[in-house]
Amino acid sequence: MVARMVELVLEKEAEFSALDAAVGDGDFGASLAKGFSKLREEWEELPKEDMGAFLKACGLLIGEECGGASGPLWGGAFRAAAKAAKDKEALGVEDLALLLDQAVLSIQKTGKAEAGDKTMVDALLPAVKSLVQDAQAHLPLEEALKNAAAAAMEGAEATRDMVAKRGRASYLGERTVGHPDPGAMAVGILLQGVYEHRKT
Ligand code: ADP
Ligand code: MG
Ligand code: MG
């Protein structure tokens, strides 16, 4: 899943930056790509023996290398997911729900964004909700991932009508209405990409 995310972040760099150009400073794609290309460079050296160690190493690199708001937010999210994944060797729907839940909590703790503030949180919270429901319904991982990706995409699309309350986009306030939040769109696109990749 992380390998697919790395590919996608690098593939979508220009698209992500263009989204940020409309509501922020246009560096979102480049900021993410900086950290994720480092992941690709260091890939062979990353610890793969357990998920916690792997995600922690990813989080540290992302936190150090990604620029702007994205470094601390995405780095912290990966490190929070790492704690939740400690000693796990496989990932079920319930585990994935927990990992993503801890990731969002970390983002909210760092960035203080609530639902509706027009940030990546608006894509992540619906994805977590969908995973929790699907874990309770004992759906297979593939189906749960599909639903989580759709929920994230829907959440990201809904940011179009919101006024930005956090991050650099908040300086533009009302003028951000009509444009989706770049971070939320990235979350939707990455989850969708992870799902499509697993399906094949
Ligand atoms: P910067 O504003 O420093 O240039 P980036 O362009 O790397 O940051 O990232 C912008 C994205 O980060 C936004 O689209 C938003 O989703 C997310 N973001 C920014 N600030 C916050 C925050 N306080 N809480 C949650 N997410 C945030
Ligand atoms: Mg930016
Ligand atoms: Mg910036």
- Per-residue pLDDT at 87: 81
- Tell me the average pLDDT of the chain: 97
Instruction: Give the distance (Å) from ligand 3 centre to CA of residue 27.
Output: 5
The pLDDT value recorded for residue 88 is 86
In the predicted model, is pLDDT for residue 168 greater than 90?
yes
Split at pLDDT 50, 70, 90, the class of 200 is low
User: What is the reported pLDDT for 84?
Assistant: 97
What ipTM is given for this predicted complex?
0.99
- Locate the ligand 1 atom nearest the alpha carbon of residue 67 and give its number: 7
Q: What is the pLDDT of residues 118-138, one digit of tens each?
A: 999 999 999 999 999 999 999
Task: Give nearest CA residue, ligand 1 atom 27.
Answer: 119
pTM above 0.95, yes or no: yes
Q: Which residues make Cβ contacts (< 8 Å) with residue 86, sequence separation at least 6? A: 50, 51, 52
- For 180-193, the pLDDT digits (tens) are 999 999 999 999 99
pLDDT in the model for residue 198 = 82
Position 169 pLDDT exceeds 80: yes
Distance from Cα 167 to the centre of ligand 1, integer Å: 5
pLDDT reading at 109 higher than 70: yes
The residues whose Cβ lies within 5 A of ligand 2, an ion, are 20, 24-25, 27-28
pLDDT at 147 > cutoff 70: yes
Q: What percent of the chain has pLDDT over 70?
A: 100
Nearest ligand to the CA of 68 is 1
Write the DSSP assignment of the chain as a string of letters: -HHHHHHHHHHTHHHHHHHHHHHS-S-HHHHHHHHHHHHHHHGGGS--SSHHHHHHHHHHHHHHH--TTHHHHHHHHHHHHHHHHTT--S--HHHHHHHHHHHHHHHHHHH-PPTTSSSTHHHHHHHHHHHHHHHHTT--HHHHHHHHHHHHHHHHHHGGGSPP-STGGGGTGGGGTTS--HHHHHHHHHHHHHHHHHH-
Instruction: Give pLDDT tens digits for 79-97.
Output: 999 999 998 888 999 999 9
Atom of ligand 1 nearest to the CA of 70: 7
Q: What is the pLDDT of residues 39-58, one digit of tens each?
A: 999 999 999 988 999 999 99
Domains of the chain (ranges plus CATH)?
2-199 (1.25.40.340)
Protein residues whose CB sits closer than 6 Å to any atom of ligand 1: 20, 24-25, 27-28, 31, 68-70, 73, 107, 111-113, 119-121, 166-168, 181-184
pLDDT in the model for residue 199 = 78
Q: What's the 73 CA to ligand 1 centre distance in angstroms?
A: 8
Distance (angstroms) between ligand 3 centre and the Cα of 168 equals 8
